[in-house]
Amino acid sequence: MRFSIYRYNPEADKKPYMQDYDLDTTANNCYMVLDALLAIKNTMDDTLTLRRSCREGVCGSDGMNINGKNGLACTTHLSTLQEPIVIRPLPGLPVLRDLVVDMKQFYQQYEKVKPYLQNSDPAPAKERLQSPEERAKLDGLYECILCACCTSSCPSFWWNPEKFVGPAGLLQAYRFVADSRDTATNERLADLTDPFSLFRCRGIMNCVDVCPKGLNPTKAINQLKELMLEEAV
């Protein structure tokens, strides 16, 4: 199979370029994009740089742009792709080297939504209980692995990465707003009422299209807007 891979080493290259590799995927036992990338790195070109860890869609390290669509290399089947397979780093984030991007802006936005439980009530002796129904509200929200596929596919984030929280951060904002044990709902909503943090979302649903975990950040964003409206009027 032919692969066309984005290469850029800021210490050696003036400009990024695309490099082609022809890999015998059958001989190398490759099923997923990550298998092929590692085979290229191990057998053809050990300068190829990428992030990966769990290789089974849990850690979120190997988010990249595969044939124009963001996804995890480890969960994308080679058989679903047309040749040449074009691999680029996640768009909209600064490239450190080859397929490795600087995730600082992504994490800063994540940090902004205070992604941890806040509860001003005194802690009970054992634990804060939830009914099964209350717990069920967190399904589809807590599963995010922070791979940045959604946020880096969002034009609103591309144009305003320092102001727009992005789908991944907003999904987590709603995850804690929806949590019956969290008492900071009003503060969380108040932090998002400016024109950029939440409302720069125009609902184009690129995030839903690319999420490797099948989550729906647009729905969470709309629920945040609805809650704000209920609080406000």
Partner 1 sequence: MVKSVLGVNHQGLTDWLVQRVSAIVMTVYSLGLISYLVMTQDIDYTRWHALFSHGWMKLATILFIVSLLFHAWVGMWTVFTDYIKPFVLRFILQVLLFLSLVSFFFASLMILWGV
User: In this structure, are residues 7 and 19 in contact, taking their beta carbons and an 8 Å threshold?
Assistant: yes
* Residue listed under structure tokens 């994308």: 76
| Residues 91 to 130 in contact with partner 1, rule: CB under 8 A | none
Give the per-residue contact string, 214-233, with partner 1 (x = CB under 8 A; - = no). Answer: -----------x--xx-xxx
Q: How far is the CB of 162 from partner 1 (least distance, A)?
A: 11
Q: Which residue stretch of 8-16, 61-69, 84-92, 192-200 sits at the interface with partner 1 (rule: CB under 8 A)?
A: 192-200
- What whole-number distance in Å separates Cα of residue 60 and Cα of residue 93? 16
Of 8-16, 47-55, 87-95, 183-191, which segment contacts partner 1 by CB under 8 A? 183-191
**Binding of partner 1 by 183 (CB under 8 A):** no
Enumerate residues 6+ apart whose C-beta is below 8 A from 50: 37, 41, 62, 64, 73, 98, 99, 100
Contact between 110 and 173 (Cβ < 8 Å):
no
195 touching partner 1, by CB under 8 A: yes
Pick out residues in 137-176 that bind partner 1 (CB under 8 A): 155-156, 159-160
The residue among 53 and 186 lying less far from partner 1, judged by its C-beta, is: 186
Taking a C-beta distance cutoff of 8 angstroms, is the pair 171, 211 a contact?
no
The H or E element that residue 140 is part of is none
Question: Which residues contact partner 1 (rule: CB under 8 A)?
Answer: 155-156, 159-160, 186, 189-200, 225, 228-229, 231-233
